[in-house]
Amino acid sequence: MLNSKILAIVIVALAFSARLYSQASDGTALLKHFRLPQYNAKTNKAEFILYGKEADALGIVVNINGVLVDILSKEITDIRVVKNLENLNVYDITLDSDKVQAFWRDKPCSTMLIQTPSAKYDRSTQIIKGKEWLKVRSHFLDMDGVGFEADHGRQTLHIDKNVKVVYRKDLADAAKKESAEKEKKAASTEKNDKGTEKNGKTDEKSE
């Protein structure tokens, strides 16, 4: 494990744009047990799913309890194929690589998970902050810490203290190998398709 005070990682931070389903007595709007896909405005592709046990909005600030963010693969074109992770609790950072690999096996659409008990989201600045523990999990890099600030505009995550990082080189190497094999297969398929198209045109000409 490595320790540091500040870590910056590329993430998609939270964007809260939801219909609020009930009204509290103090005038704040409430939302409970929600699953909200968030889309890229330009491509209309789902980028991540925001889960929460409860949220209330007072002005531009949204207070969320039971936060889980599922950051999706860029290859996802249909949100319906993404597994519902509403009741998920992420694994302990000390878990061995074999079990980590097993954890991700049924979540092929997910690239990263971010979990924290509570957070405040400012819709005007697109910044989310929390004072409690934070768990960040990906296929080969995991982080824990206390206190954080995620900036959507800058695509950064700042963790205040007690930061722990686990980098699983074996899983990273496996992911790299798998990616290379996919690229090789895609290139081979493209080459074969072009060859078939060329042969088809030659046959038409000979006729």
d(CA 159, CA 22): 33
In a domain, 180, yes or no: yes
Strand partners, 58: 61
Residue 18: its pLDDT value, please?
40
Residue 6 maps to a domain: no
Record the pTM: 0.73
Binning the chain into helix, strand and coil, the percentages to the nearest 5 are 25, 40, 35
- Report the percent of the chain where pLDDT is more than 70: 73
The reply to whether 89 and 179 lie within a common domain is no
Taking residues 97-118, report their average pLDDT. 95
DSSP 136: E
Q: Are residues 191 and 121 part of one domain?
A: no
How buried is 148 (Cβ within 10 angstroms: 0-12 exposed, 13-18 middle, 19+ buried)?
buried
Q: Considering the domain boundaries, does residue 98 fall inside one?
A: yes
CB within 8 Å of 137: residues ≥ 6 apart = 90, 91, 112, 113, 114, 115
Domains identified in the chain, total number: 2
- Same-domain pairing of 116 and 202: no
* Same domain flag for 154 and 187: no
Which domain, by its residues, includes 124?
A: 22-167
Residue 207's pLDDT band, with cuts at 50, 70 and 90, is low
* Beta-strand pair 29-39/110-122: unpaired
In this predicted structure, the answer to whether residue 11 has a pLDDT above a threshold of 60 is: no
Q: What angle do CA 63, 152, 89 make, to 5 degrees?
A: 55
- Asked, for residue 38, whether it belongs to a domain, the answer is yes
Token pair recorded at residue 161:
């203290």
Q: Per this entry, what is the length of the chain?
A: 207
Q: What is the structure's pLDDT at 19?
A: 40
pLDDT score of 4:
42
Write the DSSP assignment of 44-81 as a string of letters.
--EEEEEEEEEEEEETTEEEEEEEEEEEEPTT---GGG
pLDDT in tens, 181-191: 777 776 666 66
17-35: per-residue pLDDT in tens? 344 444 444 555 688 888 8
Point out which residues pair with 35 in neighbouring strands.
51
Higher pLDDT, 204 or 81: 81
Same domain? For 133 and 175 the reply is no
Check whether 16 has a pLDDT greater than 90. no
CATH number at 137 reads 2.60.450.10
139 and 200 co-located in one domain: no
Residue 193 has a pLDDT of: 63
| Residue 156 scores a pLDDT above 50 | yes
Query: What confidence score (pLDDT) does residue 14 get?
Result: 35
Q: Is residue 14 part of a domain?
A: no
Tell me if 8 is assigned to some domain: no
Q: How confident is the model at residue 200 (pLDDT cuts 50, 70, 90)?
A: low
